[in-house]
Chains A and B, each alone.
Chain A
Amino acid sequence: MSHNSWIKKNTFHFSDFKNLSYLVQEKKRKNLTISLCLPTLNEEETIAKEIVIFRSELVLRYPLIDEIVVIDSGSTDRTREVARAFGASVYIADEILPGLEKQKGKGENLWKALYVTSGDIIIYIDADIKNIHHRFAYALVGPLLLYDNIKYVKAFYERPIAGRKKTRPTGGGRVTELVVRPFFSLFFPEMAQIIQPLSGEYAGYRETFEQIPFPIGYGVETSMLLDIYEKWGLDVIAQVDLEKRVHRNQDTKALGKMSFSIINTFMDRLEKLGVIKTKKKMLTNMIQYKIVNNEYRPDISDIQKLERPPIIDIPEYRKKFNIDQSMNKKVKNV
C-alpha cells in the first residue's frame, strides 16, 4: 500500500454530509439507531451548549440521534445537574455495572457507555469543545451510513487536504507528532495516514466497539485504532475533517503522562502481535520533576496499564443485548 492510497479513498470533509435529510433517510432505510455519548469530568462550562445544539439540530429538527448520554467520572462541579436540565440521560460511571471493580478514566466511561446506550451506532464526543457544532456528530455518522464498508470514523481538525485549494496549518497535537506518528511510522506505516489518531471524537458500529478491549486511560484512542486495524484492516476506518476545534489546552506535564499511557499501549500491542519482545517488565511510574523551594523534587504518577476486556465478554452485557453465549451473535426476538 502506498503512503496515501487510503487517505485518498477514506478521507472526507464534513460538508460531504451536510444533507441531513438524506442521512436521516438512510438511517431509517437501514433500520439503525444512533446514540451519542459525552464522557465528562467537571465540564460545567461546556456541556450544556453541546447538549442543546445536538438536541436542537440532530434530535428535534433532524431525527438522526436517538439518545444523548452523559457518562460522568464523578464531577465535583454542576456538570450532571446542568446536563440533566437540558435533557440528557446522565450516568455516574461507577454506578454502571457495579459488580465490577471501580476504575477512573475516559476509557472506562466510553466502555461503560456501551452498556447503558442502546444505539447500533455510538458517537463519542469530548465534552470540553468550546466551538461545538452539530457537524461534530453528523459528519462522523455520515460515512457509516453512506458507505457499507466503513465501520469506524475518526475526526481530524485544521489539517491540509490534498486537492483542496484552501491551505490550513499543518502539524497535529504535540503527542501525535512526537509519539504516535513515529510509532506508526516504525511499525504500521500505513496507519500514519490517520491524520489525528488522538482526536477525542469518533463513531462506530456497536458490533465493532463491543469486540475490542478498552484501556481505562489515555491509551484508549490508540488501542482502538490498533485493534480495529488488526482485526478488520484499514479499509473499515475513515476520517473526517471537522475543521476548527477549540478546547482546553493541556500543559506539557499532562501531555507527558498522556504519552506514557500511549507508549505503554503501543508496547503492549506490539508484544501481543509478536512484533517485539520485551525482556523486562515495564514499570508503571511516570517520573517528572517539579521545583519546590529551589529544589528539584520528583513528581511520580502511578499510571497502571489497566484495560477492560471486550464488553461482549461481560455476562451482564450479553444478557442485556440478548447475545448468544456460544455464537457471539444477537438472538433476534421473534
Chain B
Amino acid sequence: MPMDYILRLPEYEKVIKSIKETIITNIVLVGQVPAPTFSEQNRTKVILERMSELNIDECSTDNYQNPIGIIRGRRRDKPPLFVVAHIDTIFDEDIDHNYTVKEKYITGPGILDNSAGVGILVSLPEIFKKLNLHFESDIVLAGVVQSIGKGNLRGIRHLLRGWPSPIRGAICLEGCDLGRLNYYSNGMMRCEISCNISSKQGWENNFRPNAILILYEVINKILKLRLPQRPQARVIFGKISGGVKHGKIALKAKLGFEIQSDSEEMVREIYDDIRDIVNGISHERAVDLKLKTISSTNPARLQFSHPLVKQAVSVMKTLGIAPVSGNSESELSIFLANNIPAVTLGMSKGNNYHLENGSIEIEPIFTGIAQVIGVLLALDSGEFDVS
C-alpha cells in the first residue's frame, strides 16, 4: 500500500513548476559566482544571502565555512535530516561564469556539477513553503566546500565530524542525471604521480630523460598489472599534463588517476603495486618520480533491499523516472561510512558535463525536485530509523 505522500508527488511536481522562476533564478545567481575548489567563499556568501532572505530558522556557516540553513522540525527528539550539495566546481575564476537561459536550457560552466544542485538546495525552503510541508525532523540544508579533486571531501567530513547529534538520513544532490540512484560507494584512492627532471643535468645534453616518456613507462607498467574480477577493481587514468612546447624535452609531467574497488584491501594492494612501479622507475632512470595520494574513501553501501533504497525506487517510478543504480564516491561515501542512510539523486538531464558550455534541461528539474521531496518525506516518516 503506497504511502500518502507518494500519491501526492505528481501534484507536488506541478506546484514546484509554478515557482520555476525562483528555482531558475537561484540556479543562475549561485552558479554565476565562481567557486573553484578551495575558493568557494564568494559562492558561500551568495548562498547564505539567498537562504537568509527566505527567513529560514537558522542560517550560518560551520567552522569550516560550509554554508548551512536549518528548518526546524516539529519533534525535538528526532535527529535531523540532511540535504547536501557540494558547492565547488572545476572551473577557474577567470572564465566567464555568466549563464544563459533559453526556453529549454540553462547553460554555463559548472551548471551540471554542481550549480544546479546547489540552486535547488537553496530553493527548497521556498518549495516547502509553497507545498505547505512541515517535517518532524529538522531539515539541514548544507552546501559543502572542498569536495572535488584535491578537496578530498573535506567539507562534508568536517561537517559530519563537528555535528553534535546523530543524523537520521541524508540526500545528496547532483545536477545530473535524472534517474541516478547512488546508494553505495567503492573504495577509492585518488593519486598523482609527478615527474621532475632536474635542469642541472645540463642544457647541452640532448638525451636526458623526458618526463612525458617516463610517465608513459609508468602507465604501461600499471596497465600490465593483473586486476581481479572479484573483488572488482580498476585503475582510471583521468588527467595528464606536462612539457612546455612542441620541440622541447619535457622536464615536468603529471599523471592523475584513481584506484577503485569494492574492497578496501584491493585498493591498498593496487596502490602498493603502483608505488613499487614508481620507485623502480625512479631508481632505474635516476629521475625524481613521486607518488602522492590526494584523497581516499572507504567502500560503504546500503543494500538494494534497504528500505530507503526501495522507497527511493518507488518514488522515482511514481514520477516516471527509470532508476539507474551505481556507485558514487562523493558526499554519499562519507555519510555511508558514518552509518547514516543516504542516497545521491540527479536533478535533470544535461549536455557537455564538464565543459564551459554545460547545459541543463529546465523541464525535468521539477520532476527531479519532486523526487527529492518524496525521498525526504520517506526519511521523515521514520520507516528507516535505527531503533
A binding-site residues for B, Cβ under 8 Å: 44-46, 48-49, 52-53, 55-57, 60-61, 81-82, 85-87, 130-131, 133, 246
Contacts and interface: CB of A to CB of B under 8 A. Distances in A.
Nearest to B102: A48
B29 A46 contact: no
A246 B98 contact: yes
A48 B22 contact: no
Interface in B72-123: 96, 98-103
Given A49-B99, A60-B22, 9 more contacts: A49-B100, A49-B101, A53-B29, A60-B19, A82-B102, A85-B103, A130-B98, A131-B32, A131-B98
B100 A45 contact: yes
B179 to A, nearest CB: 26
Interface residues of B, number: 15
Given A52-B28, A133-B29, A61 B101 contact: no
Interface string B7-33: 000000000000101101100110010
B19 to A, nearest CB: 7
Contacts of B28: 49, 52-53
What's the dominant secondary structure at chain A's contact region?
Answer: helix
Contacts of B103: 48, 81-82, 85-86
Interface string B31-56: 01000000000000000000000000
B98 A56 contact: no
Contacts of A82: 102-103
Contacts of B101: 48-49, 52, 86
- Name the residue in B22, B101, B103 with the highest tally of chain A Cβ atoms < 10 Å from its Cβ: B101
Contacts of A49: 28, 99-101
A48 B99 CA distance: 11
Contacts of B19: 56, 60
A5 B32 CA distance: 37
A260 B98 CA distance: 32
Contacts of A85: 103
A131 B102 CA distance: 15
Nearest to A57: B25
A44 B102 CA distance: 8
17 contacts: A44-B102, A49-B99, A49-B100, A49-B101, A52-B24, A56-B19, A56-B22, A56-B25, A57-B25, A60-B19, A60-B22, A61-B22, A81-B103, A86-B103, A87-B21, A130-B96, A131-B32
Interface in B188-210: none
Contacts of A48: 100-103
Nearest to A20: B53
B98 A60 contact: no
Nearest to B28: A49
Given A49-B28, A131-B32, A133-B29, A55 B21 contact: yes
Given A52-B21, A53-B25, A60-B21, A46 B100 contact: yes
A133 B21 CA distance: 13
User: Which 7 pairs show the lowest CB-CB distances between chains A and B?
Assistant: A56-B21, A56-B25, A130-B98, A48-B101, A49-B101, A56-B22, A55-B21
B93 to A, nearest CB: 14
A86 B98 CA distance: 19
A85 B272 CA distance: 58
A86 B20 CA distance: 10
Contacts of A61: 22
A168 B82 CA distance: 41
A151 to B, nearest CB: 30
A246 B99 CA distance: 12
Interface string B244-267: 000000000000000000000000
Nearest to B98: A130
Contacts of B102: 44, 48, 82
B199 to A, nearest CB: 40
Contacts of A131: 32, 98
A251 B19 CA distance: 40
Contacts of B99: 49
A45 B99 CA distance: 10
Nearest to A133: B29
A44 B101 CA distance: 9
